[in-house]
Structure 1
Amino acid sequence: MIRSFHDITHSDADVKRPIVTLFSGGLDSTYLLHRLVQAGATEVHALSVDVGGDEKPDQIRGIADQLGVRLHLVDERDAFLQEFVRPAIAAHGVYLDTHPVSSSLSRPLIARAAVRVARELDAGMILHTANRSQNTLRRLNGALDQLGFEGHFGTPYDLHPVDREMKIKELRAIGLEEMAERTASGDSNLWCREFESGILDDPEHHEVPEAFYRWSARRGVPEAEYLEVAFRAGVPVAVDGREAPLADIVSSLNRTAGAHGLGRHTGLEHLPDGMKVLEVREMPAAWLLLASRRHLETATLDAESLREKLNVEQIWVREALEGRWFGGLRAACQAFITELTAPVTGSVRWRLDGSRTSTVSIVADATKYVRDREDWEQTSIRRELSCLAGATNDEKRNGLW
């Protein structure tokens, strides 16, 4: 396991063999590439996995070229949505009833891409840049372990954190001036945009610059509008009657729901030792889709099935959070959840109006809801009286009717 910069050069890992590093173009991953080149690594491969985030390919390419490392740009957007986001929607993947999970979904995919590239190159090492105040550390390490990577893997920042100013100073010395502009760490994909560290370190003082937001950025005061989301067997398939791929639905809802300020979250995430760190998110599409699907589940599933699903959901979330995406327990939870998806077909219509946002229509195909309470009461009474009239005397004496 690689846990420090010392491990890279003083373990039995061979820096002359190909090394694959996860590369976002941020300060930490750029500094790692710089240190590898300094350490005499002769074949460094920077892997950038596209899951629909904010990274700019031209900027990433420019940094890799300047450092003299080979860049691999891998497009995994469709796989991210179909293999990770779609199951998370079905599992109502929400962290401790606070916010939809996000990096827990992208990390196993990124790890899988890294293992694939490393095996193609016969690389002896996969490196990432998570530090011990980021839960990404155990998610990436856990996924790499479950995927059975044969070489060394880990992050040098685990036991050897490097001061932000030191990293900026060293990178400036080789002409990478733009790194000084990063005031916080960011992680983004099609499902979520997340910010932490830097100016957001202190939970007791963390006013978030409005410029950090994109989907939910203030664009005046939008007028109230109506929007309908349709599901088929638990999967989002249409918005306002127009069927579209999941990628288009998520992209559209991020803009539309985000314009009303929906889907923002600021809160604390738990670290393994019991401490907490502040994280800020915006995920309008996730908020709206999960809320809509829950309404349809409530409309179509019996109460006991829904109660059990709520329990299984949190086991599913825990396994994803702890870096065990490829484990058997999460797969078993997913199988149970999949069994309950068939009836979840219908649509939810919303009135989007900022904090006054609410549903105006829930329509399900195989519905269990009552549309006329008085009629239901009368029907229920007639059914019970009919059963009583047909009951035998023995059944009545035994209290069965």
Structure 2
Amino acid sequence: MKTSRRGIRSFHDITRSDVDVRRPIVTLFSGGLDSTYLLHRLVQAGSTEVHALGVDVGGDEQPEQIRRIADQLGVRLHLVDGRAAFVEEFVKPAIAAHGVYLDTHPVSSSLSRPLIARTAVQVARELDAQMILHTANRSQNTLRRLNGALEQLGFQGYFGTPYDLDPVGREMKIKELRAIGLDEMAERSASGDSNLWCREFESGSLDDPENHAVPESYYRWTATRGTPDAEDLEVTFHAGTPVAVDGRELPLTDIIELLNRTVGAHGLGRHTGLEHLADGIKVLEVREMPAAWLLLASRRHLETAVLEAEALREKIHVEQIWVREALEGRWYGGLRAACQAFVTALVAPVTGTVRWRLAGSRTSTVSIVAADPKYVRSREDWEWAAIREEISHLGGAVNDGNGNGSTQW
């Protein structure tokens, strides 16, 4: 990664001569070990106006814990409810674009990071802050997604993560925080990231792709709760967007929350995949995304029902361009926007309903009903109709398949 004039890549960068640590600093804060330790270091460095920003995108973070840590460190806390914007401006476009990384798993942090970055820029401008900090390290794709978004959004101050070139060991962080009374920084065997669309686990005990058994306790939506009875579930789309479940119209946020519980109860929607870092090295990530799994599969069924084959083939090609731009931290770039416009136009006729029978590993569709379908409901009837039409154009006659009449040319 190139070092820019405004780049923060180490703790030394925060305290260099051209940085005034007494001016407001905005730090992305989740209440976890890395972001808590960064706040501690800023206070140690003499920063007198540290603003910890938490953006709620429907994850597992506990507001009470976040407030308690911020109060103990003496920093100012800003909690922003970003759930509606996350779903409408980021998840909804990803559904239309079939945001799936190389056919392995739906993208997730690629969707939340642009919103978090945008919120940070808004808060920083309101405070006249000179710096936005986050805590991603070089083994996390979040680093280039946040930095890329901050760059594209035109933030003119300093931004970045001190952990890029100046990592601090987990044990050291815990020791220093315990010394100031923050004993609640309990050790975890893996890192997690969560939002309404996805719960993700990585690092620690999940570092090794060749040995990465995931403890069942990590899962929430798909956690084992016995064997539920089979049940039917119907999802309705309008112009490529989910609008109803079992005939009941709901906001998209409610649809996602409902499907995470209902589909997840059948153990569906777990994904394991390798994703590349900026230099091409691959790292393992584990996800549970029940609603994403069912919604993307349902929309694809309806697309195949209404779109011409060539149009669908081209859409699949454009989808991966869309995914690449989002993945590489270029959400606010022109190429992703152009891909989005193409996708939005193409899915306009994708309206209909898909009914599933949820039954664990035996889950399957039982009904696909499109508003303007290209499918046939009886192959035999279609064949005879097609034959009649072709022969009639040639001036002949055709029998009805039951021995009545004869084929004439």
Category of TM-score, reference length = shorter chain: over 0.9
What residue in structure 2 maps to residue 394 of structure 1? none
Whole-angstrom distance in 2 between the partners of 1:50 and 1:11: 35
Matched, 1:287 2:288: no
What residue in structure 2 maps to residue 84 of structure 1? 90
Unaligned runs of 5+ in 1: 391-401
Whole-angstrom distance in 2 between the partners of 1:310 and 1:128: 34
Query: Which one of 241, 262, 274 corresponds to residue 268 of structure 1?
Result: 274
Whole-angstrom distance in 2 between the partners of 1:253 and 1:376: 37
* Alpha-carbon contact 1:27-1:182 (below 8 Å) kept: no
* Alpha-carbon contact 2:57-2:195 (below 8 Å) kept: yes
What residue in structure 2 maps to residue 64 of structure 1? 70
Matched, 1:48 2:66: no
What residue in structure 2 maps to residue 399 of structure 1? none
Q: Please give the root-mean-square deviation of Cα atoms over the aligned residues, in Å.
A: 1.0
Matched, 1:349 2:355: yes
Whole-angstrom distance in 2 between the partners of 1:7 and 1:34: 16
Query: Which one of 183, 189, 193 corresponds to residue 183 of structure 1?
Result: 189
* Alpha-carbon contact 1:263-1:287 (below 8 Å) kept: yes
What residue in structure 2 maps to residue 137 of structure 1? 143
Relative to total residues, which structure has the larger helix share, 1 or 2?
1
What residue in structure 2 maps to residue 258 of structure 1? 264
Whole-angstrom distance in 2 between the partners of 1:113 and 1:71: 14
**Deviating more after overlay: 335-344 vs 123-132:** 335-344
TM-score by length of 1: 0.96
Unaligned runs of 5+ in 2: 1-6, 397-409
Q: Percent same amino acid among aligned pairs?
A: 83
Query: Aligned in 2, Cα 1:11/1:128: closer, same or farther, shift over 3 Å?
Result: farther
Whole-angstrom distance in 1 between the partners of 2:181 and 2:227: 43
Deviation of 1:11 after TM superposition, in Å, equals: 5.0
TM-score by length of 2: 0.94
What residue in structure 2 maps to residue 168 of structure 1? 174
User: Tell me, what secondary structure is at the counterpart of 1:181?
Assistant: coil
Matched, 1:216 2:226: no
Whole-angstrom distance in 2 between the partners of 1:143 and 1:79: 16
- Whichever residue aligns with residue 372 of structure 2, its letter is A
Deviation of 1:388 after TM superposition, in Å, equals: 3.4
Query: Which one of 380, 389, 406 corresponds to residue 383 of structure 1?
Result: 389
- Whichever residue aligns with residue 290 of structure 1, its letter is L
1:279-315 per-residue CA deviation (whole Å, 9 max, x = no partner) reads 1100000000000000000001010110100000000
What residue in structure 2 maps to residue 397 of structure 1? none
What residue in structure 1 maps to residue 33 of structure 2? 27
Whole-angstrom distance in 1 between the partners of 2:300 and 2:29: 36
1:15-42 per-residue CA deviation (whole Å, 9 max, x = no partner) reads 1110000000011000000000011111
1:42-91 per-residue CA deviation (whole Å, 9 max, x = no partner) reads 10000000000000000000000000000000001000000000000000
Whole-angstrom distance in 2 between the partners of 1:282 and 1:79: 22
Whole-angstrom distance in 1 between the partners of 2:284 and 2:179: 32
Matched, 1:226 2:232: yes
1:89-115 per-residue CA deviation (whole Å, 9 max, x = no partner) reads 000000110111000000000000000
Matched, 1:104 2:92: no
What residue in structure 1 maps to residue 405 of structure 2? none
- Whichever residue aligns with residue 214 of structure 1, its letter is R
Whole-angstrom distance in 1 between the partners of 2:210 and 2:186: 25
* Alpha-carbon contact 2:104-2:272 (below 8 Å) kept: no
Whole-angstrom distance in 1 between the partners of 2:345 and 2:76: 45
* Alpha-carbon contact 2:105-2:272 (below 8 Å) kept: no
What residue in structure 1 maps to residue 21 of structure 2? 15
Whole-angstrom distance in 2 between the partners of 1:175 and 1:385: 87
**Deviating more after overlay: 321-330 vs 180-189:** 180-189
Whole-angstrom distance in 2 between the partners of 1:32 and 1:204: 32
